[in-house]
Amino acid sequence: MLKGAMPGVTGRFLFIPLLAVALTALLGGCASSTNAPVVDRQHRSQPAASQKAVRPVTSGSYVVRPQDTLYSIAFRFGRDWKELAASNGIPAPYTIRPGQVIHFSKKPARTVAAAKPATPARPSATTSKPAAKPAAKPVSKPAATATSKPAASTPKQAAPVGKWLWPAEGTVISRFSSNTTLNKGIDIAGQIGQPVKATAKGTVVYAGSDLRGYGELIIIKHDDTFISAYGHNRRLLVNEGQQVGAGQQIAEMGSTGTDRVKLHFEIRRQGSPVDPLQYLPGR
State which of 74, 94, 110 marks the end of a domain.
110
**pLDDT in the model for residue 107:** 61
Domain limits at 66? 50-110
**pLDDT in the model for residue 66:** 86
Evaluate whether residue 121 is within a structural domain: no
Give yes or no: residues 104 and 179 share one domain.
Answer: no
Give yes or no: residues 100 and 176 share one domain.
Answer: no
**What CA–CA distances, in Å, run from 57 to 3, 84, 102, 124, 270?**
86, 11, 12, 43, 14
Evaluate whether residue 80 is within a structural domain: yes
Work out the number of other CB atoms within 10 angstroms of the CB of residue 111: 10
Structural domain count, the chain: 2
Evaluate whether residue 179 is within a structural domain: yes
Evaluate whether residue 2 is within a structural domain: no
Predicted confidence pLDDT, tens digits, the chain (283 residues): 444 444 444 444 444 455 555 444 444 444 444 333 333 333 333 344 444 545 778 888 899 988 889 888 888 888 888 888 888 989 888 888 998 999 988 765 443 333 444 444 444 444 444 444 444 454 444 444 444 443 333 333 344 577 899 999 999 999 998 765 568 899 999 999 999 999 999 999 999 998 888 999 999 999 999 999 999 999 999 999 999 999 999 999 999 999 999 999 999 999 999 999 999 998 8
Evaluate whether residue 126 is within a structural domain: no
Distance (Å, whole) CA 255 – CA 82: 31
User: 167 near 200, Cβ under 8 Å?
Assistant: no
Q: What is the CATH number of the domain that holds 60?
A: 3.10.350.10
**pLDDT in the model for residue 57:** 85
Q: What is the CATH number of the domain that holds 240?
A: 2.70.70.10
**pLDDT in the model for residue 54:** 58
- List of residues 6+ apart from 234 with CB closer than 8 A: 192, 193, 216, 251, 252, 253, 254, 255, 256
| SS3 category, 30 | helix
Evaluate whether residue 192 is within a structural domain: yes
Give yes or no: residues 98 and 183 share one domain.
Answer: no
Give yes or no: residues 179 and 101 share one domain.
Answer: no
State which of 110, 129, 148 marks the end of a domain.
110
User: 217 near 211, Cβ under 8 Å?
Assistant: yes
User: Is the bond into 93 cis (omega within 30 degrees of 0)?
Assistant: yes
Give yes or no: residues 188 and 264 share one domain.
Answer: yes
Evaluate whether residue 194 is within a structural domain: yes
Give yes or no: residues 178 and 254 share one domain.
Answer: yes
Evaluate whether residue 4 is within a structural domain: no
Q: Which residues pair with 240 in a beta bridge?
A: none
State which of 88, 110, 132 marks the end of a domain.
110
User: 186 near 125, Cβ under 8 Å?
Assistant: no
